[in-house]
Structure 1
Amino acid sequence: MTAAVAPIDHASRAARPERRPFDPDTRIWADTGLITFSLTAGSAFLLQTMEPSIAAVVDEHSTFRTDPLGRAFRSIASVMMWIYGGDEALAEADRLRVMHASLNTTDAHGVKHQALSSGPWAWVLHTAIHAFTEGNRYFSTEKLSEADKESYYQEVVQLMRNFSVAPKEIPATYAEWEPWFQDQVENHLVATTVAEDYLRVIRKIAPPKQVPAPLRPVWRAATTPIGKLQYFFTVGTTPEIIREKLGLTWTESDERTLRALGWIIGRTVPVLPERIRYFPIAYEARRLERDRARLRKIIDLRPM
């Protein structure tokens, strides 16, 4: 069964919104840079590794197995650029398209996969919507209304345009996106060895190559609790049907623990200093905008 979707009408070029950076007054600007982003990023990437073409390309080209921390840091920095990079945000989107243009492969069944195929390319950004709503559900004291979800969805639609996602891959509204997403999860995503490897990698964080062999036991002792927590958050914020496809266990006790941890996180993060609450690129972008606003105020008040 395929969910019916009414794509956004882009038939008229004159009516097509332009690619543009995000303004500081958008929700995507306020929320993406928070450190809680990392708590649901794992679920988003897991959903990506279950899309057949993405899984095939990641299996051959990604460094998530050999350099998991480096890949994670690079990915987070790139996402921060999408939102907070100003004009460089569009350059980052273009850089990623150029980089992915050559990331093609053929799987064991002889099926060819291309990273820039319209469906897989769009799916990466669609998983961000799931991550946002799950993050809000578990790790925020503010509960989203349907209007809030629609407003955020339209901001992600703009992000998709910045990445040149094909209009046919974009449901028109959040209300239409929900059944479309559910259909993708149920009928298109499959269990893959890449997804299984990813869950193993995040649970047991490999030390960077720079860590000397004598210090690796210390690394393992320090990172084991972090890995278990990241695995727990990833599994807990993943749709139930995906857990079933991957054979993952999630109990009522697990759910209560996740909600309890989320309650604590949701009330702790907002009172942290901004420098700690946000990732570095997001923090500096927010600080720069405040400086610009102060300068604008002084300019407006100058003697004439």
Structure 2
Amino acid sequence: MTASAALEPTSTRSLPQRRPFTPGSRLWDETGLITFSLTAGSAFLLQTMEPSISAVVDEHSTFRTDPMGRAVRSIASVMMWVYGGEDALAEADRLRAMHASLNTTDAHGTRHKALASGPWAWVLHTGTFAFAENAKYFSRSPLTETEKEAVFQEMVQLMRNFAVAPKEIPASYAEFETFFADTVANHLVATDTARDYLRVIRSVAPPKQLPRAFAPLWRAVVAPVGRMQYFVTVGTTPDVARAKLGLTWTESDERKLRALGWVLARTVPLLPERVRYFPIAFEARRLERDRLRLRKLIDFRPI
């Protein structure tokens, strides 16, 4: 029995079959792009505003003490979800097993469980939102309604792979939008965890293994990246959530974000594939091309 089968509630076992992602999907084409990390920030911010996730992250996450390490591990994990083949399902099992013991009790005596169905689903729901925001700002054209529905169905498959309870999965993208807006307005709260996350990404501390002598160089090089990540994170967070956190966003800010997105949408595609994709995504895509070339040689071999 896999870890996920042992951990998931009986109600989730009626879900359609888990299966890894393959080439041809929108997630395969775009999740691995380096611009993915820009809107991943707003996804994590929205997660830290969910009370149970906030409580668990506050106690167990290393985002304050090892922000770069946590970011690298998180991105690598997400790449596995889409590009890992059969190992993608093993990664989902690993994460469920790891989160099974990540429970805590907050200052009000409320017990929070990382694998509670609502919070567990919310992590992936924020990914759906972030994907659409990424297309809105950092691609040549935002998603059409038809494309949003297609992406949502791919995200539903990802939720199945993570054994998200069926009751937590809207039937369509239109229903997702209603559910998402209601959750942001009526369930998310301004937490200290969210505020700490914004502080951390604005000024990313050097990795622990970096010699102290190089710390000033690190700050000089990384500071502009941190400011951009903070700016994009705030800009791609819903207005209601920004208001709860006391964040300001002006029309001038919006114009700057759209200008940044316009530039990135036209320059990133010009980069070599090895540069514009994260390593796991690049290697998976390269391996797929090699497989297709081999298939062609086999199909057209002399007989």
Question: Same-fold call, TM > 0.5?
Answer: yes
Aligned position for 1:169: 168
Inter-partner Cα distance in structure 2 for 1:301 and 1:112: 62
Deviations 1:149-203 (A, max 9, x none): 0000000000000000000000010011101100000000000000000000000
Inter-partner Cα distance in structure 1 for 2:26 and 2:291: 20
Aligned position for 1:268: 267
Aligned position for 1:29: 28
Residues 253/11 of structure 1: CA separation in 2 closer, same or farther (3 Å cut): closer
Shift of 1:11: 9.9
Residues 250/218 of structure 1: CA separation in 2 closer, same or farther (3 Å cut): same
| Letter in structure 1 aligned against 2:103 | N
Aligned position for 2:6: none
Shift of 1:303: 2.5
Aligned position for 1:92: 91
| Letter in structure 2 aligned against 1:210 | Q
Aligned position for 1:242: 241
Aligned position for 1:151: 150
Q: Which sections of structure 1, spanning at least 5 residues, go unmatched?
A: 1-9
Deviations 1:83-127 (A, max 9, x none): 000000000000000000000000000000000000000000000
On the 8 A contact 2:34/2:276 being kept in 1, the answer is yes
| Letter in structure 1 aligned against 2:119 | P
On the 8 A contact 2:152/2:172 being kept in 1, the answer is yes
Shift of 1:211: 2.3
Percent of aligned pairs with the same amino acid: 72
Question: Does 2:282 align with 1:283?
Answer: yes
Aligned position for 1:76: 75
Aligned position for 1:6: none
TM value normalised by structure 2: 0.95
Deviations 1:19-47 (A, max 9, x none): 00001011110010001101100000000
Inter-partner Cα distance in structure 2 for 1:157 and 1:69: 29
On the 8 A contact 2:132/2:142 being kept in 1, the answer is no
Aligned residues: 293
Q: Which aligned pairs between 1:135-146 and structure 2 lie closer than 5 A?
A: 135-146=134-145
Inter-partner Cα distance in structure 2 for 1:51 and 1:120: 7
RMSD: 1.3
SS at match of 2:104: strand
More off after superposition, 245-254 vs 207-216: 207-216
SS at match of 2:137: helix
Shift of 1:12: 10
Shift of 1:219: 1.9
Deviations 1:237-292 (A, max 9, x none): 10011110000111111111001010000111111111111000000000000010
